């Protein structure tokens, strides 16, 4: 999916949201947690590498039925690679992503188990004192699983794991899967 089609779809979903508001299926969400990349994100094996960081995200979604919905989210995955030898040689890669996913839920009273699957577009920025700096954009698949607890009529809590496949690209010198583990809050309308 190219960038203009993705932006048009995102604008269409946001514009259509008020029309769905009477169904109590519309929600806004915010989450915070941790991200972790695979070892392949470390571009220089001779320097110690930190592959974990704090991540956060925001989302807007709509559950068309109690079992099916769609969600658009912005994710800051943090530094998926941070290398520093303590003597001035350092490099790090930060990742931001936008995703569009389908949500499948299995509600049991006020708790729902859910899974989601879709695509993302990410930008990875590499800064370094000894490598060629660069920025890479890529599109790939994302999927996740989680649990949602509807605490009150318009407030829910959520805990989930989501994987972003093959983040990175040639301009930053690596591709790596990134997992996020997060918890957050949903406001439903």
CA-nearest of 8, 173, 168 to 94 is 168
**pLDDT band at 101; cut points 50, 70, 90:** very high
**pLDDT band at 12; cut points 50, 70, 90:** low
Average model confidence (pLDDT) across the chain: 90
- Structure-token match 């997992």, residue found: 179
CB–CB of 80/35 below 8 Å?
yes
pLDDT at residue 182 greater than cutoff 90:
yes
Task: Output the pLDDT for position 18.
Answer: 54
Q: Where are the domains of the chain?
A: 3-188
Query: What residue spans of the chain are helical by DSSP H?
Result: 3-20
The b-or-e profile of 166-184 (16+ CB within 10 A means b, else e) is: bbbbeebbbbbbbbbebeb
Q: Which fold has domain 3-188?
A: Porin (2.40.160)
* Cα distance between residue 119 and residue 186, in whole Å: 22
SS3 label, residue 10: helix
Average pLDDT over residues 14-21: 53
Average pLDDT over residues 132-152: 96
Question: Which range in 15-24, 52-61, 85-94, 130-139 is most confidently predicted, on average pLDDT?
Answer: 52-61
Token couple for 106: 């299995």
Task: Output the pLDDT for position 87.
Answer: 83
* Cα distance between residue 135 and residue 124, in whole Å: 6
């Amino acid at each position: 999916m190219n960038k203009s089609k993705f932006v048009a779809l995102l604008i269409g979903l946001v514009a259509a949201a008020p029309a769905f508001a009477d169904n109590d299926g519309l929600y806004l969400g915010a989450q915070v947690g941790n991200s972790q990349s695979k070892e392949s994100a470390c571009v220089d094996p001779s320097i110690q590498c930190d592959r974990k960081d704090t991540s956060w995200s925001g989302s807007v979604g709509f559950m068309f039925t109690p079992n099916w919905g769609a969600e658009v989210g912005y994710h800051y995955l943090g530094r998926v690679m941070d290398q520093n030898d303590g003597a001035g040689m350092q490099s790090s890669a930060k990742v931001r992503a936008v995703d569009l996913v389908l949500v499948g839920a299995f509600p049991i009273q006020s708790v729902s188990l859910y899974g989601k699957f879709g695509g993302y577009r990410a930008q990875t920025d590499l800064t370094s004192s000894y490598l060629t700096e660069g920025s890479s954009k890529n599109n790939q698949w994302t999927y996740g699983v989680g649990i949602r607890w509807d605490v009150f009529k318009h407030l829910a809590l959520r805990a989930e794991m989501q994987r972003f496949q093959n983040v990175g690209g040639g301009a930053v010198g690596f591709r790596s899967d990134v997992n996020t583990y997060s918890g957050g809050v949903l406001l439903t309308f």
